[in-house]
A and B are shown apart, each in its own frame.
Chain A
Amino acid sequence: GQQVMQIPQYQHVQEGEDFTTYCNSSTTLSNIQWYKQRPGGHPVFLIQLVKSGEVKKQKRLTFQFGEAKKNSSLHITATQTTDVGTYFCCVGGGADGLTFGKGTHLIIQP
């Protein structure tokens, strides 16, 4: 099945700084989904990207899908303590289920 690599594995930022996590694949992806998991919680769906070069925004979060549909990024502007958690990119989601990346752990220092 399809695999994705996420970088970085951990990211420490000061509150108010920006944060970006990247998701890369060696193959062309039909779509990509992003989830957030708070410490001790369960993953929560954020967004799905389908189109080449697609950019979607949710308040301070900006999601991009690469032109070649082999990579994606999530950017958070001016992080807040509520942004703490692990951000996962996922591929698949059809008949075979979603494959999750290993995630980026965002740690925010006040």
Chain B
Amino acid sequence: DGGITQSPKYLFRKEGQNVTLSCEQNLNHDAMYWYRQDPGQGLRLIYYSQIVNDFQKGDIAEGYSVSREKKESFPLTVTSAQKNPTAFYLCASSIANPVYGYTFGSGTRLTVV
């Protein structure tokens, strides 16, 4: 079955650590996105990529980094510069013209301990 896989489902980070969230898709979608969701809130765009080896900052990119070395993969690194990283992180993908919407992964819940 085609879809998006995010791992891990739950992640705990100590203060000052960098952590990397995985996102893999086998839908052959060109575009991939990372969103952050805080409790009871909407989704905010962190980074997005329309094509391999290219990506753009979204609305809240500070403290995050990404790479897009393969079409299928779009990992997100939460760096120690992100002061409030505890949140639900959602990865999504779409075709270039998303008339069928975005397909989301099941998310990673990151908690700073």
Report whether B106 and A48 are in contact in the complex, using a CB–CB cutoff of 8 Å: no
Report whether B45 and A97 are in contact in the complex, using a CB–CB cutoff of 8 Å: yes
Which one of A43, A97, A99, A103 lies within 8 Å of B104 (CB-CB)? A43
A41 CB–B CB distance under 8 Å: yes
Report whether A43 and B43 are in contact in the complex, using a CB–CB cutoff of 8 Å: yes
A interface list, Cβ under 8 A from B: 1, 33, 35, 41-48, 88, 93-103, 105
Which one of A41, A47, A98 lies within 8 Å of B45 (CB-CB)? A98
Whole-angstrom CA separation of A103 from B44 in the bound complex: 12
B interface list, Cβ under 8 A from A: 33, 35, 40-45, 48, 50, 56, 58-59, 90, 94, 97-107
Report whether A44 and B99 are in contact in the complex, using a CB–CB cutoff of 8 Å: no
Report whether B101 and A42 are in contact in the complex, using a CB–CB cutoff of 8 Å: no
Which one of A42, A94, A102 lies within 8 Å of B42 (CB-CB)? A102
Q: Shortest distance in angstroms between A32's beta carbon and chain B's nearest beta carbon?
A: 11
Report whether A42 and B102 are in contact in the complex, using a CB–CB cutoff of 8 Å: no
Sample (16) of A-B pairs whose CB atoms are under 8 Å apart: A1-B59, A43-B104, A45-B100, A45-B102, A48-B98, A48-B100, A48-B101, A94-B97, A96-B56, A97-B48, A97-B58, A98-B98, A98-B102, A100-B42, A103-B41, A105-B40
Q: Which residues of B contact A33 (CB under 8 A)?
A: 98, 101
Q: Which residues of B contact A100 (CB under 8 A)?
A: 35, 42-44
